[in-house]
């Protein structure tokens, strides 16, 4: 499977929505992605800050992984809060995140994001083809 997707936490369904070509194709409590890009759309975030009402403006974009045991390395926790940060950040270091070679999104009573620390995270100038 080599499908490019965008994954975001759906507040109404309380799980992750997986979008391909602009359409939600399924919902899940566990999604794994390779060649991930952490995306925050500034206009959507500005609308959240102005209206105080959340909208879909932040997601993780990348290639969907179907294998259940796709990665066995060490993962680090990430988060995004539009009221505190303009980007996804590392939970411990608070450094902004833009890219990662591997991301797991897990809903275990609350959304959790884990990413592989790699050279991809050092700069947002590198991009993956859509």
Burial (CB count <10 Å: 0-12, 13-18, 19+), residue 108: exposed
Task: Please give the Cα distance from 105 to 115 (Å, whole number).
Answer: 9
Q: CA 91, CA 76: separation in Å to the nearest integer?
A: 8
On average, the pLDDT of the chain sits at 89
pLDDT band for 2, please (50, 70, 90 cuts). Answer: confident
pTM of structure: 0.87
State the DSSP code for 122. G
Q: Facing residues of 112 across strands?
A: 106
Q: Strand, helix or coil at 98?
A: coil
Distance CA 103, CA 26 (A): 18
| pLDDT bracket for residue 5 (50, 70, 90) | very high
pLDDT (tens digit, 9 = 90+) per residue, 30-52?
Answer: 999 999 999 999 999 999 999 99
In the chain, which ranges are E strands? 4-10, 15-20, 23-28, 30-40, 58-65, 76-79, 88-90, 96-97, 99-107, 111-115
Cα–Cα distance measured from residue 126 to residue 50, given in angstroms and rounded to the nearest whole number:
31
Report the alpha-carbon distance of residue 45 to residue 54 in Å, rounded: 8
pLDDT at residue 124, as a whole number: 46
């Amino acid at each position: 499977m080599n499908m490019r997707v965008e994954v975001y936490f759906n507040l109404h369904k309380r799980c992750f929505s997986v979008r391909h070509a602009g359409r939600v194709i399924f919902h899940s409590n566990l999604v794994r992605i390779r060649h991930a890009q952490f995306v925050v759309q500034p206009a959507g975030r500005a609308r959240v800050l102005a209206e105080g009402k959340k909208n879909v403006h932040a997601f993780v974009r990348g290639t969907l992984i179907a294998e259940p045991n796709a990665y066995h390395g060490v993962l680090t926790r990430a988060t995004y809060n539009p009221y505190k940060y303009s980007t996804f950040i590392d939970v411990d270091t608070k450094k902004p995140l833009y890219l990662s070679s591997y991301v797991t999104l897990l809903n275990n009573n609350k959304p959790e994001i884990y990413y592989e620390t790699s050279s991809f995270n050092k700069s947002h100038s590198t991009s993956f083809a859509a």
